[in-house]
Structure 1
């Protein structure tokens, strides 16, 4: 069978019936051993495991074993941890190469059972996806709600794979549309190019106070525009760096410098004074009126370096989340201020891993010292 024969042909060649041949095959774990020349070099072979066992028994260190076997030290460390004794006074000191090989073969069997064969888990994941929670948020939430139930725990990658494969178990196949990208397949990321123009009197991000970087002090914001089809419509976004609280600014008619200035002024003036410190923006010409904004609000405005979106990474991430509500290539002018308020409020009530599972609304409530009053976003 390792040479390509079927089970029936192999049984005929050896001179046994199919039942005996099947029993022999099951005794080897159900896998057909390939000739050594055809075995993938990605996985440790039995010969390598025997060599690891001999060197480990002789007291050789992990890095030295890795150099002699020709594998990375991380691979050797994981192999010794998986194949070592888990109990007793010599825990993780013994290494059984034949048992480790058997375990590797069992782990490699396909197909594997899906986590989403569990109806309760599939239902909860499906429910949160419909609320536009990310797979990572869902995974973290389940680990908190079900700390002692392993069957109710699932990794973000397992959720992504189930969605990209059209659903698994009791998980519907159309749930990929609730992901931020809405894609049914993975695609490589491409850097987004953005035209920028010269803005007079810019203060660059290199001059921004150091307190902004560590997020220890609230009141520092990042902003940008998300554009509609053919760049004819836009929505301005503001994100507070410490709490990740989001405000959406309605831009009626156009997104020129005057309209953006007026929209930002209305949004900024709705904030308490201690939450109005700095604003970081890219070099888009829509902020050409930045000096007028600073004079009217005392909010200092800093500009990122060209083609450096990571310098306002919080806002970039938020804009990606907002694309679930405002897809690229659509007309954003159809969304009213009330709709923007609804979207911002829903986004601010989604838990964030970076906030320890709290929501931006809860973080903002703590800053305002008004826990009894629910926080909603303000639109300009």
Structure 2
């Protein structure tokens, strides 16, 4: 049995490149060795404002995973679970128990996580629900309480003035957190100024809001006087946004693509980081190198100035 493998971010970026090159769905499916239906669904799912956006599509996929994402991204674990359900007709409870009883398998998944996978889009595409003893089309998880918004004084991005949206004024930023695997809480704080596209990357070892907001505050240096606004997603790491000396705005729930400048920057950062980067493969010097590359690359949107040159030009005008 050939198991389904989800599209990777790299494949999504290849789809975007193919579309911009004028290729149709049939040609893209042959190029990526994927079915036409997979490509068609992906393009439909990842299109916003009539343009396909690979990062937006990836964020939608990740946000739709279970709280324990290991089963969806670990091929060995996923194949083990699918094999036991399809060929051995084990229940999710039996699979989870077996994994716990035999640590040499080096796998980890609760029965709730396995059930979530079975009734996910991927599980349904493999017809996994039909192999369970109790065949239901859907399974609810309504016993989990919805998370309350803990961010106070939150202003929606929909209230952000047009002069910020159209990048006509300097001093308006976006920020995000990129998680580095291998160490709990280790991350990169990424910041971008919307008009000049100048970026700041900060190696950080805590997802706590005190640390994140404190480092954003301390990182802008000579730009502190021009720090007018900043836009975040609704992560708890930005809960203390009110400590910043600037206006703050937040994307709508589950809509990180609304801060497109930082999402684009994050994609460039990922492309420059070591493959399957862990805390052992990323250092402050490597992050500084990435920042230097990004800030010294000419951009068409800037008339082929570099972000650093655009930054200096805007500062000189003051």
Residue 206 (structure 2) pairs with residue 254 (structure 1) = yes
SS in 2 for 1:291: helix
Shift of 1:237: 0.4
Could you say which residue in structure 1 is the equivalent of 2:259? 312
Could you say which residue in structure 1 is the equivalent of 2:238? 287
Q: 1:207 to 1:219 in 2, by over 3 A?
A: same
Among residues 320, 342, 358, which one is paired with 2:289 in the alignment? Answer: 342
SS in 1 for 2:202: strand
Shift of 1:358: 2.1
Q: Render the CA deviation track for 1:5-51: whole Å, top value 9, x for unaligned.
A: xxxxxxxxxxxxxxxxxxxxxxxxxxxxxxxxxxxxxxxxxxxxxxx
Q: Residues 227 and 332 of structure 1 are in contact (CA less than 8 Å); yes or no, is this contact kept in structure 2?
A: no
Q: Residues 256 and 286 of structure 1 are in contact (CA less than 8 Å); yes or no, is this contact kept in structure 2?
A: yes
Residue 251 (structure 2) pairs with residue 300 (structure 1) = no
Among residues 154, 157, 161, which one is paired with 2:21 in the alignment? Answer: 157
Q: Residues 226 and 237 of structure 1 are in contact (CA less than 8 Å); yes or no, is this contact kept in structure 2?
A: yes
Q: Distance in 2 between matches of 1:165 and 1:299?
A: 47
Over the residues paired in the alignment, what is the CA RMSD in angstroms?
3.6
Residues 129-208 of structure 1 aligned to structure 2 (within 5 Å): 157=21, 189-190=57-58, 191-194=60-63, 198-208=150-160
Q: 1:250 to 1:307 in 2, by over 3 A?
A: same
Shift of 1:326: 2.7
Q: Render the CA deviation track for 1:213-261: whole Å, top value 9, x for unaligned.
A: 110101000110111227642101001111111100121x322112212
- Greater shift, 327-336 or 255-264, is seen at 327-336
Q: Residues 210 and 240 of structure 2 are in contact (CA less than 8 Å); yes or no, is this contact kept in structure 1?
A: yes
Among residues 218, 238, 242, which one is paired with 2:195 in the alignment? Answer: 242
Could you say which residue in structure 1 is the equivalent of 2:268? 321
Q: Distance in 1 between matches of 2:57 and 2:213?
A: 32
Q: 1:312 to 1:328 in 2, by over 3 A?
A: farther
Shift of 1:353: 2.1
Shift of 1:156: 7.2
Could you say which residue in structure 1 is the equivalent of 2:181? 229
SS in 1 for 2:259: helix
Shift of 1:288: 1.3
Q: Residues 274 and 281 of structure 2 are in contact (CA less than 8 Å); yes or no, is this contact kept in structure 1?
A: no
Task: Note the residue ranges of structure 1 that are not aligned, 5 or more in a row.
Answer: 1-133, 136-154, 167-185, 371-380
Q: Residues 172 and 228 of structure 2 are in contact (CA less than 8 Å); yes or no, is this contact kept in structure 1?
A: yes
Could you say which residue in structure 2 is the equivalent of 1:363? 310
Q: Distance in 1 between matches of 2:281 and 2:212?
A: 17
Q: Distance in 1 between matches of 2:279 and 2:158?
A: 33
SS in 2 for 1:358: coil
Runs of 4+ residues over 6 Å off in structure 1:
none
Q: Residues 171 and 193 of structure 2 are in contact (CA less than 8 Å); yes or no, is this contact kept in structure 1?
A: yes
Task: Note the residue ranges of structure 2 that are not aligned, 5 or more in a row.
Answer: 1-12, 33-53, 68-146
Residue 211 (structure 2) pairs with residue 264 (structure 1) = no
Residues 8-157 of structure 1 aligned to structure 2 (within 5 Å): 157=21
Residue 171 (structure 2) pairs with residue 219 (structure 1) = yes
Shift of 1:201: 2.0
Q: Distance in 2 between matches of 1:333 and 1:202?
A: 36
Q: Render the CA deviation track for 1:146-170: whole Å, top value 9, x for unaligned.
A: xxxxxxxxx9739xx9xx979xxxx
Q: 1:358 to 1:192 in 2, by over 3 A?
A: farther
TM-score, normalised by the number of residues in structure 1: 0.44
User: Aligned pair count?
Assistant: 192
Bigger Cα Rg: 1
Q: Distance in 2 between matches of 1:240 and 1:352?
A: 14
Q: Render the CA deviation track for 1:277-306: whole Å, top value 9, x for unaligned.
A: 0000000000111112x2xxx211111111
SS in 2 for 1:236: strand
Q: 1:368 to 1:204 in 2, by over 3 A?
A: same
Q: Distance in 2 between matches of 1:357 and 1:273?
A: 27
Could you say which residue in structure 2 is the equivalent of 1:34? none
SS in 2 for 1:201: coil
Shift of 1:339: 2.6
